[in-house]
Structure 1
Amino acid sequence: METPTVHEPQWWRGAAIYQVYVRSFADAGGDGVGDLAGVRSRLPYLSDLGVDALWFTPWYASPLADGGYDVADYREIDPAFGTLAEAEKLIAEALDLGIRTIVDIVPNHVSDQHVWFQQALAAPPGSPERARFWFRPGRGEHGELAPNNWRSQFGGSAWTRVTEPDGTPGEWYLHRFAPEQPDLNWDHPEIRREHEDVLRFWFDRGAAGVRIDSAAELVKDPALPDYDYEAPHAPDEPHPYIDREELHDIYRSWRAIADSYPQPRALIGEVWLPDPVRFARYLRPDELHTAFNFGFLACPWDAVELRDTITTTLAVHAPVGAPATWVLANHDITRTATRYGREHTGFDFADKAHGIPTDLELGTRRARAAALLSLALPGSVYLYQGEELALPEVEDIPADRIEDPMYHRTGGVDPGRDGCRVPIPWSGVVPPYGFSPPTAEAEPWLPQPAAWARLGAEAQDGDPASMLTLYRQALRIRRDEAALGDGPMEWLTAEADGAALGPRVLAFRRGAGFTCLVNLSDAAVPLPGPAAAEVLLASGPTPGGLLPPDTAVWLRTT
């Protein structure tokens, strides 16, 4: 495959980006934990797969209370993963293969082990050290009640009371996530300066972009009012800690930094907002370049809902001139093959549970079709590690091995996210399936299922029917087809190129000669005749010129 140019302006508009969860990707050190040396050893695999960029979840120094999203030092690599010098080598070696690197920035909070928070704990109330965070006295006669009713994303209160240096119960601090992740006060100018310096630190080392975690949550109402979680709220009603106006000035300053580099740097936001119009405001020309499309990720396997989501996404992005993004899974979401095999195929954190019956054969067939759908849509696409191997969610991890705070903070009511973070199988028929060296004595940090022997990358390599082969072929075609990636699309309606289409068949054209059909109905539909179309790639067999249910096809049309 031809190595893509790394000097392409606005590369993010149509890139295929592969998410690497370092801890679970490849373990070169033999301690059961993935590391940067392991990633470097697998760069040829990623190059053969055909991706344009790698997004790394946090690899910084961290106590790993939340999988690295509790950052203790942005300028150091966690020793479990390697060193800063190795990260610089990885960025350079990937770039030699035409693969850019995107690093993860977590601006809403830091680790409770960060030097700033340790200084705050040692300082008195009202001190400059505490002003970097949200320390407040409690309510109640003796300050025994939290300052307000805000909830943690991980369950329970968003406040924790500290013990002061003299041993007495003291102030409370805000943490919208785990207690080990104190929220930063973005009204403080030092917080802004530090994050701008962190951006420059990684851009100077060759990072081509940053993914911004919880991008709509940084700024809080300084009054810290209670919030009525049960009452209906208008989309334009100010929220005390989500989507506040001050955020846009922050991202304008970040955009100025990104634009100051001779090679393009990209800002990619994790923006969970129900209102698509407010979502699009983050993508104005002087703010973020792209943002994750969670509407598509959470959408059920339903033709009407998918079409509405795709149409809405493109319509929202058009006025601000930003490219859409498409993603089926990530390190927080139930894996696609499992989710699509269930009766309810959408995703909602509030309904997340294990033990829901799933048909993996059906789910995998749909996941194959969804891969072709997402890779054919306009804009950039994100691929979570292991999706190209059709890995299912692991739902029987022993309770004493689960590390996700979502599980522990809810007393096991929420199953947590470790089921999609199980280490990747590479080769062999028994764990660790090549994830760790043959001489490793330590087990992988999460147990791998016995059924994964057939899903390893080596087992799928060269198999024309495997998910890995499908992704390799699709990414190659996507790179070669000028009409794919960024650009326009046109929905096809009742009759298209000789193929009869019903309401449960998605059909669209990219450019003059490329068509994608996805059959979400219960019956096979006829493909266009051989005179009108050539099959470039199909997610499954198309016997007798028919497109079976839960199958997608890419066509060269005339």
Structure 2
Amino acid sequence: MTDQLTADPTAERDGAASTAPTSWWRDAVIYQVYPRSFADSDGDGIGDLPGLRSRLPYLRELGVDAVWLSPFYASPQADAGYDVADYRTVDPMFGTLADARALLGDAHDLGLRVIVDLVPNHSSDQHEWFRRAIAEGPGSALRARYHFRPGRGAGGELPPNDWPSIFGGPAWTRTTDPDGTPGDWYLHLFAPQQPDFNWDHPAVADEFRTILRFWLDLGVDGFRIDVAHGLVKAEGLPDLGARTEWHLLDVGVSPCFDRDGVHDIYRSWRRILDEYPGERIAVAEAWAPTLDRVADYVRPDELHQAFNFSYLGTAWDVATQRRVIDESLRAMRRVGAPATWTLSNHDVVRHTTRLLQTDEGDVAGRRPVEVDPVAGLRRARAATLLLLALPGSAYLYQGEELGLPEVVDLPPEVRQDPAFHRATGQDGYRDGCRVPIPWAGEKAPYGFGPEGGASWLPQPASWARLSVAAQQGDPASTLELYRAALALRRAEPALGAADNLRWCEAPAGLLVFERGGSVRCTVNMTDAPIRIARPGQALLTSGPVDLSGPEVEIPADTTVWWVPGSPDGAS
């Protein structure tokens, strides 16, 4: 492998020749921080903003361009902060608004941009609007800002329609009127503590425009839009009919997801973002039936990026990978947007575990199973170099740079995913990817918080060898692989946003492509080595490769980056 490269994260990148704009976000590497699991400053077992602030230099050294923060707003935490009670306040468990300002200032001083989660599909049931709507009873004007409906049946005892909750059970909960009698029902596509907003009501649109401006004025560089596909529901809230359940990763065509009306909302948001300097952006968490439908969210007058969930769930084989990569690039090319690529996030099984699973649902990140950790890490490292060689923007999830596996043996009593104890809907196994990450030391909490403290989810004993301190400076470690790959990605002009991927002929089992004619990526997706003529000088390998001869044997589940030139110069 090559010597480690260093690069200034604040420096401008050399863009490959392209007619596309060279905006920062088109090829940015964005690192997701799940705040409660990143760094705990006060010893309460929960990560917080001061803890994250203290670790920002680590992220700069890693080589990412921006940090995306999962919700830290005031919340009862029924769904880990995705049930927001006050969109303009930091929850005390994470710090204060002053901590948020300080975090933004420090990040910008380090050349890091900050993107924050925005949750517009639903609020907490403790949001002032909803609390008043319940307290005031039928006829309250605030009820029109949510979806309140009378029930069906002789006494209104049945839900208004047959929609299921993503988290299991019906998507409706019946209220109790102020006089104690059963009342209307309200819609919640997720947990009962997360009532859906009615985006047909002008007050909802007005409120979120002011929320956008509040955080933009504070200095955030953009927003990740939670459930971006869910805001608008079909008129009349019609029944689903034959389909009685769905999953977050497979919502398909439905009356409450990916309705055309969402696009008017995002056009209005884009106008607000464009008023601010520094190219503030918005990223859609948009689950849609096709990549072309996803691309509609990033037309030139709408949002900037959309997560590529089709790629996240792609099986580890050449034909499938090539097809999804081609489809992704084609769909985004149609609207002039960059493709995005990711392998893990806070809602799916970590790819160190997931990529070795073979069941289709497991590949998509639903239910974890135990896998060989050595083989899982080898494949994950190969997948990472593949992802970072693709055109567009990459999203990393905290801890993947340490090679963290999914924690599959959490006891039921510690799990906090609200879907875990439900019989249907999303499986409820998201806690395993949210276990706090290890920083240093031989025993928990491994520097996540003060020595002798705890963490809100228990960390495995095996994680001592995966900590930042244990991997720092070890050229064979996953951490140093990520640092080297991100530095090379910045230094090599061909590895930018330009849509310059060309497939190369290759033996069966190898995925091979070139970027800009100057960087070649070779991936062995089989469980056996494959011998090839050496194509040039090796830039970086995901695992050990013998580079001593004119032919090279690429081991199983291994990726190599090459550049033209004499092999004698390779290290």
TM-score, with structure 1 as normaliser: 0.94
Distance 1:228 1:275 in 2: 22
- Aligned partner of 2:186 in structure 1 is 173
- Aligned partner of 2:341 in structure 1 is 326
Deviation at 1:265, TM superposition (A): 0.6
Do the aligned residues in 1 keep the contact of 2:354 with 2:363 (CA within 8 Å)? no
Do the aligned residues in 2 keep the contact of 1:105 with 1:210 (CA within 8 Å)? yes
Deviation at 1:147, TM superposition (A): 0.3
Distance 2:465 2:416 in 1: 27
**Residue correspondence of structure 1 range 465-476 to structure 2 within 5 A:** 465-476=476-487
> Which structure 1 residue ranges, 5 or more long, are not aligned?
495-500
Q: What per-residue deviation string (whole Å, max 9, x for no partner) do you get for residues 86-140 of structure 1?
A: 1111111011111000000011000000001001101232321100000011011
- 1:97 maps to 2:110: yes
- Aligned partner of 1:14 in structure 2 is 27
**Residue correspondence of structure 1 range 270-281 to structure 2 within 5 A:** 270-281=285-296
1:242 to 242, 257, 271: 257
Distance 1:77 1:448 in 2: 26
**Residue correspondence of structure 1 range 83-162 to structure 2 within 5 A:** 83-162=96-175
Do the aligned residues in 1 keep the contact of 2:79 with 2:417 (CA within 8 Å)? yes
1:543 to 546, 549, 556: 546
Do the aligned residues in 1 keep the contact of 2:166 with 2:426 (CA within 8 Å)? no
**Residue correspondence of structure 1 range 333-412 to structure 2 within 5 A:** 333-344=348-359, 347=362, 352-354=366-368, 356-410=369-423
Do the aligned residues in 2 keep the contact of 1:397 with 1:419 (CA within 8 Å)? yes
Q: What per-residue deviation string (whole Å, max 9, x for no partner) do you get for residues 156-200 of structure 1?
A: 100000111111110000000000000000000010011111111
Higher RCO (C-alpha 8 Å, min separation 6): 2
Distance 1:292 1:419 in 2: 21
Deviation at 1:150, TM superposition (A): 0.3
Deviation at 1:224, TM superposition (A): 1.1
Q: What per-residue deviation string (whole Å, max 9, x for no partner) do you get for residues 192-240 of structure 1?
A: 0111111111111111110000101100123011112439xxx9x9731
Do the aligned residues in 2 keep the contact of 1:6 with 1:95 (CA within 8 Å)? no
- Aligned partner of 2:430 in structure 1 is 417
Deviation at 1:370, TM superposition (A): 0.5
Deviation at 1:488, TM superposition (A): 2.2
More displaced, 260-269 or 408-417? 408-417
Q: Residues 346 and 301 (structure 1 numbering): CA distance in 2 closer, same or farther, change over 3 Å?
A: farther
Distance 1:191 1:26 in 2: 34
- 1:518 maps to 2:531: no
More displaced, 145-154 or 195-204? 195-204
- Aligned partner of 1:438 in structure 2 is 451
Deviation at 1:5, TM superposition (A): 3.6
- Aligned partner of 1:552 in structure 2 is 559
Do the aligned residues in 1 keep the contact of 2:7 with 2:63 (CA within 8 Å)? no
Q: Residues 549 and 285 (structure 1 numbering): CA distance in 2 closer, same or farther, change over 3 Å?
A: same
Task: Look up the SS of the partner of 1:54 in the other structure.
Answer: strand
Give the AA of the match of 2:561. Answer: W
Q: Residues 345 and 372 (structure 1 numbering): CA distance in 2 closer, same or farther, change over 3 Å?
A: farther
More displaced, 213-222 or 515-524? 515-524
**Residue correspondence of structure 1 range 67-86 to structure 2 within 5 A:** 67-86=80-99
Q: What per-residue deviation string (whole Å, max 9, x for no partner) do you get for residues 273-295 of structure 1?
A: 12122221111100111100001
> Which structure 2 residue ranges, 5 or more long, are not aligned?
1-5, 14-21, 245-249, 566-571
Task: Look up the SS of the partner of 1:214 in the other structure.
Answer: coil
Aligned residues: 544
> Which consecutive segments of 4 or more residues in structure 1 shift more than 4 A?
6-9, 345-349
Do the aligned residues in 2 keep the contact of 1:159 with 1:175 (CA within 8 Å)? yes
- Aligned partner of 2:247 in structure 1 is none
Q: What per-residue deviation string (whole Å, max 9, x for no partner) do you get for residues 464-490 of structure 1?
A: 111101001000111111111301233
The alignment-based identity, stated in percent, is 55
CA-atom RMSD in angstroms: 2.1
Distance 1:144 1:461 in 2: 60
Give the AA of the match of 2:520. Answer: T
Task: Look up the SS of the partner of 1:405 in the other structure.
Answer: coil
- Aligned partner of 2:514 in structure 1 is 509
Task: Look up the SS of the partner of 1:364 in the other structure.
Answer: helix
Q: Residues 393 and 82 (structure 1 numbering): CA distance in 2 closer, same or farther, change over 3 Å?
A: same
- Aligned partner of 1:302 in structure 2 is 317
Give the AA of the match of 2:223. Answer: V
Q: Residues 276 and 413 (structure 1 numbering): CA distance in 2 closer, same or farther, change over 3 Å?
A: closer
Deviation at 1:348, TM superposition (A): 6.0
Task: Look up the SS of the partner of 1:74 in the other structure.
Answer: strand
Distance 1:493 1:554 in 2: 14
Give the AA of the match of 2:482. Answer: Y
Q: Residues 338 and 417 (structure 1 numbering): CA distance in 2 closer, same or farther, change over 3 Å?
A: same
Give the AA of the match of 1:132. Answer: R
Give the AA of the match of 2:366. Answer: K
Give the AA of the match of 2:544. Answer: P
Do the aligned residues in 1 keep the contact of 2:393 with 2:497 (CA within 8 Å)? yes
- Aligned partner of 2:568 in structure 1 is none
Deviation at 1:408, TM superposition (A): 2.3
